[in-house]
Amino acid sequence: MDYYPKTFIIMGSLFGAMGAFFIVVGVLANSALLPQTYTVFSMAVLSFSISFLYPQFKQKDERMKLIRQKAIGYSFIAMMVYISLLLLGIELNVISLNVVDALTILISLSISTLFLTMVALAKKY
């Protein structure tokens, strides 16, 4: 019996609860969210996505290679859009972020985009 998808669901739930705890603490302290909040939520997305994709990733067939290639391509395009919008927002003084916050947001967006794209492509193909 294969327990790995269940393990990933449990891990995703724990990451989601930890992210919710970070948000509650940030709201109660009347401060901005911790940069780790974005990373924890992206890890929750990663865990839930892997729980869906694990049975298909076990197979090393052409379909999974195609899904991985297309997901990386689409995620690269999305990252360029994210970076462009972030730079535009910073240059126009619409948003003010320090470097750590900006990089944390970009890393979290890239992780979430890649794995959600894989899930969408796995359902499509």
Give the mean pLDDT of 12-23. 95
- Residue 21: alpha-carbon gap to chain centroid: 18
CB under 8 Å to 113, separation ≥6 — which residues?
Answer: 74, 75, 78, 79, 82
pLDDT classification of 25: cutoffs 50, 70, 90: very high
Tell me: the pLDDT tens digits for 64-108? 889 999 999 999 999 999 999 999 999 998 988 888 999 999 999
Distance CA 64, CA 39 (A): 26
CA dihedral 113, 10, 19, 76 (to 10 degrees): -10
Give the pLDDT score at 2. Answer: 66
User: Is the full-model pTM beyond 0.75?
Assistant: yes
